[in-house]
Each structure stands twice: as structure tokens, then as C-alpha cells.
Amino acid sequence: MECTVSWTGNSTITGSRSNMSFLAETGSGHTLVMDGAPDADKPENGGANLAPRPMETVLAGTGGCTAYDVVLILKRGRQDVRGCSVKLSAERAAVDPKVFTKIHMHFVVTGKGLAASAVERAVAMSHDKYCSATIMLAKTADITTSFEVLEV
């Protein structure tokens, strides 16, 4: 797996200027723009809030990784899953490095006749065995999960 991240310098994104924007080009051929938070004290050091922050993309990637697992595990278990979303709420350390210290993942899984026990098992398997991002972040963060099942 490869990714190249390049600082775009003092560039314009969507018509606004940012001093701290970056372009990530993934090995699979996709691009992702990231931007820093505005810095009121030193505007030249801040972003313009034009794209997700790098740590937001880490959190989003973790959500994508675990949701992928949950859907795949449910499908393999012949569950009629129709939708899956996960809301991640995170806390970070107050000082550098500002690693994630707590992450809660709340899954909402929709389907027809979904067994709550199957959803609970899929979430646990992702959390404990399959989701590389979750397992990696668990080295610094206390990660908890919850879920609800909705009939469609």
C-alpha cells in the first residue's frame, strides 16, 4: 500500500486560500484533500477549513474499515443487511502528540429479519480481529462499541 501526500503550499481550494492544505494520492489512484484548522493567532500557520483535518480522515478511515467488516461478516452469515452506518465519537490527548484516547463507535444496521446476535457478533469480530485501523488505534485509545438494529 502506498500514498503520497503533498503540501499544496499557499494554494486556492474551492476559491479560498489555505496555507496548510495537502493532497493525498493513494496507490489505488484516488485523491483526497486535507486542510488544517484556522489559526487566529498566526493565520499564516493555519488552514482555511476547506477540507477534513488529517486526524478526521484517520477517524473516517477507521469507520469505513469497521463498517466494511460488519457488512461483510453479516453477508457471509446470510443476513439480509440493507444498510450500515457507524458514528464515531473521539477524544484526543490535550498535549502533543494529540493521539486518540477514547473512541466510541455506534453502529446502526438496517435489514430484513436481522438477528441482533449476528450484528453483535459482527461488531465484536471487527473490533477484536479484523479491523486493522481499530486494532491499531486501540494501542492508544479505549475503544467502545454499541449498536442498534432497524427493520426495513
pLDDT band at 46 (very low <50, low <70, confident <90, very high): confident
Q: According to the model, what pLDDT value does residue 141 have? A: 98
| Cα–Cα distance, 8 to 104 (Å, whole number) | 33
DSSP state, residue 150: E
Q: Which grid coordinates belong to 101?
A: 484516547
SS3 of 56-114: the string is HHHHHHHHHHHHHHHHHHHHHCCCEEEEEEEEEEEEECCCCCCCEEEEEEEEEEEEECC
pLDDT at 14 over 60: no
pTM summary value: 0.91
- pLDDT above 70 for 136: yes
Domains of the chain: 3-45 (no CATH), 54-151 (3.30.300.20)
Output the nine-digit C-alpha cell for 67.
Answer: 463498517
Give how far Cα 133 sits from Cα of 57, 126, 143, Å: 12, 10, 11
pLDDT in tens, 76-124: 999 999 999 999 999 999 999 999 999 999 999 999 999 999 999 999 9
